[in-house]
Amino acid sequence: MKARALLWVCCVWLAPATGWSIPASELLARSRAAATRGDWNASARSLEELVAAGVDDSSVLYDLGTAYAHAGRYGEAIYRLEQVVRRQVFDGDAQHNLRATRLRLAHRDAERSGRAVAETSLPITTALGEVLPLDAAVLLAVLSQLGALVGLWIARRRSSEGARIGGVASASLFAAAALFALAVLASRARAKPAAIVLRDGVRLLSAPAEDAITAEPVREGERVTWVARTGTFARVETLEGRQGWVRLRDVGALE
């Protein structure tokens, strides 16, 4: 009787882990199959499940962003590709697809309303903060500072003039690199959290309520900064300085 009860408990405990979960490789295969068929929404759905399960490597996000872009969901595509670019600055494919998605969105807007914004330049401090991913900036800052210290030590200890000049020169170079990395980190630390407007037709609300008066619209794929959050609403500020409330489901936080 005891053994049977123990078996039952084990079954109940292990069931969620084994019984109904779909392997990540299976989801990826489904996504690829759907992409081959040209069903980009289905492909994106499988990748969304992967990301929701915690499999959010940059390559998965790149695929998800590209699938969104093919499906015409430009806001979501820009959001995912921005995430990839922030993680891997030198990812050429992600950079290209991000630019292409923005151009596609701009053409769609131009078709609809006669006007479009392809890309908005970021403030210099914000742009500086996104030149390097955080981890890379920290690594660069630490290594450069150590390099500069070693250079200084060589310049002081070595008796030959050549070694002294070499030490000073390398210390200066490392110090410049360290300053650059620290400037990146300081800009990032000062910057408000950024977010991307995911959907078309989102308007800024005057108050955090479903029945609040809507104000100026925000563009799909537009970058906003996160000012505050109340319940299911977030107060955001656009790059032009307009502020208002949006529903949380309408924006994707980049951090």
Does residue 176 belong to the site contacting another protein (CB under 8 A)?
A: no
Q: How far is the CB of 228 from another protein (least distance, A)?
A: 14
Binding residues for another protein, total number by CB under 8 A: 66
Distance CA 230, CA 248 (A): 9
Does residue 246 belong to the site contacting another protein (CB under 8 A)?
A: no
Does residue 194 belong to the site contacting another protein (CB under 8 A)?
A: no
Evaluated on CA atoms 119, 97, 82, 184, the torsion sign reads negative
Please identify, using beta-carbon distances, which residue of 91 and 248 lies nearer to another protein.
91
Contact between 236 and 195 (Cβ < 8 Å): yes
Judged by CB under 8 A, the residue of 6, 10, 15, 207 near another protein is 207
The total of other beta-carbon atoms located within 10 Å of residue 254's CB is: 17
In the block, tokens 């969304």 appear at: 48
Does residue 164 belong to the site contacting another protein (CB under 8 A)?
A: no
Beta bridge partners of 223: 196
Distance CA 118, CA 156 (A): 54
Nearest partner of 35 among 5, 65, 56, 8, judged by Cα: 65
Selected range binding another protein among 14-22, 56-64, 221-229, 230-238, rule: CB under 8 A: 56-64
Given the rule CB under 8 A, which residues bind another protein? 24-25, 28, 32, 35, 50, 54-60, 62-63, 66-67, 69-70, 87, 93, 96-97, 99-101, 103-104, 107, 112-115, 129, 133-135, 137-138, 141-142, 145-146, 149, 178, 181-182, 185-191, 203, 206-207, 209, 211-217, 255
